[in-house]
Structure 1
Amino acid sequence: MKKILFIGLNFFGYDDAICQELKNNNYDVDFFSGLTPITSKRKAFIRFNMKRQLKKGEISHQKQILRNIKSDYDIVFVIGGVETSQSFILKLKEKNPKAKYILYLWDSFDRMPNIKSVLHYFDSIYSFDRLDCLNCPSMSFLPLFYRNEYSKEVIKDTNVDIYHLGSQHSNRLKIIKKIARQCDQKKISHRFRLRVGKITYWRHIIFGGELKGSKQYLIFEDWSHQRNSNSIQEAKAILDIQHPTQVGLTMRTIELLAMQKKIITTNKDIVNYDFYSPENVYIIDTENPLIDEKFFSRPNLEIDKTIIEKYSIKNWVNTIFS
């Protein structure tokens, strides 16, 4: 049985799903989060941009990982992030010099420029960003995946036209407000929810900010995968809003493909994927997001199951570790 050291991002249970799929393939997996835990003290450092203290926290967290890992792994698998440093990778290699090193990027170079400095330490590199792969020949293009619980038949009855659940960042709230006003005018029902921290919300309330007067769109606790999945099933179409600096498809988009739901997205690069069809996917502009009511009544184009299965977590793991 091969041993894998998996350093991930501890992101909404996706790392757990990857670990389980690896175990299903008879790998022995040790998992560690590559991101420093977000304590109340660290939140304050982030808020006041205290870079020195943030870096000290990252180094301390990485030292803890290095103290706890073994020295006989066959594969070291890293999902890269903003804290993936040269010094950390070099220390991993010192402790596991014979291991094969694999890197996966589910963020774009624009959002973590530091990652370019560690690419040459890895034997295999994959990225979810198609354009980054075109510009970096050493990387292989591999989109994100859907978890097994999303690969099921959706219920037929729907009670809302458009649904969106996401984290509040960049221009998301601005886009959602524009779409909501348009939906109200056209009598298109909608349920939009953005996750935001309570401290951030109250800071906007007290000192002024875009969150003020927007409470109907905000939630302050994470929703479970089951609750989100149920809400997706109850909607005719799901709104996907990419980060402005990302081109790769979000995990949400891939999950919607598995559920064969209609997608409304700001990501224009989706036309380059094999599952794209205008019957199933409606692309909107971030500055002027026009919604066509006819999209909701247009029958979905059935997608070949072999195409859908390409984006499963099983195929994702097999591609990386075959």
Structure 2
Amino acid sequence: MITRPELQYKNILYIGVKFYYYHQQLIDKLEDTYGARVDYFPERDTSILYGIINRLSPSRLEAYQEFHYRKILGEIIGKKFDYFLVIRGFKMPLWFVKKIKALNPGLKLINYQWDSNTNSPFINLPPQYNILPEFDVKLSFDYKDVADHAQLGYSATFYTDEIKELGEKTNNENFKYDLFYFGSYLPERYVGLLKFMEFAKKHKYSVKFHFYMPIRYFIIERLKGVKIDWKLIKFRKMSRTDYITNLSKSKTIIDVSNTKQSGMAMRVLDALGSGKKVITTNKWVTKDSIYDPRQIAVIDIEDIRLSDGFIKDNTYLPRKAEFNLDRWIERIFIESFEDPKVKAGTDDINITKQFSK
């Protein structure tokens, strides 16, 4: 059923990160719910050849990406598009963006970043890759980037419909686990795992953890002399089905955020969307209008302290519907063009001034 006809029959060129299942969830939602037609391409070649070049001959990476985008252009030549959505856009050549614009008069261009500029630079790049000025709408999930760069508007990422459905079922009772620690390896997250296991044991909290690390990274880290207890590591990713199941059985999800980002991690959004509590190391979230200390506890990983009853309290927690996938699409594709304040970063979904230094 088409609930918002603005995107019905619109042709969307979508180039972005091939990130777990999120890119496909977005494509399916645009096509099945909004009636759009989507041509999707990953921002980079995901073949083994790319990995070999990136590892063994990085000097050839730019030429390889050039070939990748010329191949995309060959596949879409002759098609007409209404929207061009880029999520991240790793080494996307400026000539490519200009060519897409020239071939599609009236095209609406959207650049969305769900990584920080520190982690994955996208602002003031060398001329051949400085594509950001070409876009009509420029949005980021990262609080600090939005605060530091006036050209950016703010929009958090999204949780999927599975999380939305879980939130409709959650009753804040009869949980199997007090704490759910889920994530992939970063040094700070491994430290966080050790700290939370100690914390849970001290306070007699039940905990479910799944800490994923590819075996090749484990071997590399051990060869570098990094001490990692292999018994705490999972060498296989948790399936999406198992993740949803474990989340449903848990009262509180733990987020040890990437220190190179300031935006809300997926774990935080999944908690807000499912009516769960979340413990996070991301202090930026306390300045967001969605912050509620009954649901979000911000901690120092070196000295974990929680207010009395934070985990034990079964107070009903309202679901944050503003972060579901439908709202993300409406903000990005519809509201950002209907209301200039949205893309300028000045309306109430933006936090440019709120997070300025």
Task: Report if TM-score (shorter chain) is over 0.5.
Answer: yes
1:158 pairs with 175, 200, 205, which one?
175
1:232 CA displacement: 0.8
**Distance in 2 between residues matched to 1:187 and 1:130, nearest whole Å:** 35
1:137 CA displacement: 2.3
Partner of 1:119: 132
SS at match of 2:85: strand
SS at match of 1:15: helix
Partner of 1:260: 275
RMSD over equivalenced CA pairs, Å: 2.3
**Distance in 2 between residues matched to 1:90 and 1:171, nearest whole Å:** 40
Decide whether the 8 Å contact of 2:163 with 2:273 is kept in 1: yes
Aligned length: 315
Partner of 1:250: 265
**Distance in 2 between residues matched to 1:86 and 1:137, nearest whole Å:** 22
2:13 pairs with 5, 13, 18, which one?
5
Decide whether the 8 Å contact of 2:178 with 2:250 is kept in 1: yes
Decide whether the 8 Å contact of 2:141 with 2:264 is kept in 1: yes
1:261 CA displacement: 0.3
Decide whether the 8 Å contact of 2:81 with 2:104 is kept in 1: yes
Which deviates the most, 86-95 or 194-203? 86-95
Q: What are the equivalent positions in structure 2 for 1:218-229 lying under 5 Å apart?
A: 218-229=233-244
Question: CA offsets per residue over residues 253-292 of structure 1, 9 Å max, x none?
Answer: 1121111001000111111233322111111113333456
**Distance in 2 between residues matched to 1:38 and 1:293, nearest whole Å:** 50
Aligned pair in 2 of structure 1 residues 177, 88: CA closer, same or farther (>3 Å)?
Answer: farther
TM-score by length of 2: 0.81
2:117 pairs with 76, 93, 109, which one?
109
1:194 CA displacement: 2.0
Decide whether the 8 Å contact of 2:253 with 2:267 is kept in 1: no
AA of the residue aligned to 1:272: K
Q: What are the equivalent positions in structure 2 for 1:124-139 lying under 5 Å apart?
A: 124-139=137-152
TM-score by length of 1: 0.89
**Distance in 2 between residues matched to 1:107 and 1:81, nearest whole Å:** 11
Asked if residue 273 in structure 1 is aligned to residue 288 in structure 2, the reply is yes
AA of the residue aligned to 1:280: Q
**Distance in 2 between residues matched to 1:170 and 1:46, nearest whole Å:** 23
Asked if residue 66 in structure 1 is aligned to residue 83 in structure 2, the reply is no
Asked if residue 27 in structure 1 is aligned to residue 44 in structure 2, the reply is no
Aligned pair in 2 of structure 1 residues 275, 143: CA closer, same or farther (>3 Å)?
Answer: same
Aligned pair in 2 of structure 1 residues 180, 316: CA closer, same or farther (>3 Å)?
Answer: same
**Distance in 1 between residues matched to 2:248 and 2:156, nearest whole Å:** 23
- Runs (5+) with no aligned partner, structure 2: 1-8, 125-129, 335-357
1:167 pairs with 178, 184, 187, which one?
184
1:142 pairs with 130, 143, 155, which one?
155
1:88 CA displacement: 3.8
Decide whether the 8 Å contact of 2:271 with 2:278 is kept in 1: yes
**Distance in 2 between residues matched to 1:52 and 1:8, nearest whole Å:** 23
Question: CA offsets per residue over residues 156-189 of structure 1, 9 Å max, x none?
Answer: 3222221122121241111211221222233222
Which deviates the most, 95-104 or 311-320? 95-104
Partner of 1:198: 215
**Distance in 2 between residues matched to 1:87 and 1:196, nearest whole Å:** 38
SS at match of 1:176: helix
**Distance in 2 between residues matched to 1:149 and 1:107, nearest whole Å:** 23
- Runs (5+) with no aligned partner, structure 1: none
Aligned pair in 2 of structure 1 residues 59, 167: CA closer, same or farther (>3 Å)?
Answer: farther
**Distance in 2 between residues matched to 1:221 and 1:20, nearest whole Å:** 26
Question: CA offsets per residue over residues 168-216 of structure 1, 9 Å max, x none?
Answer: 12411112112212222332222222221121223334553233xx223
Aligned pair in 2 of structure 1 residues 198, 319: CA closer, same or farther (>3 Å)?
Answer: same
Question: CA offsets per residue over residues 83-141 of structure 1, 9 Å max, x none?
Answer: 34434433433444542211111111111224443221101111112232232222221
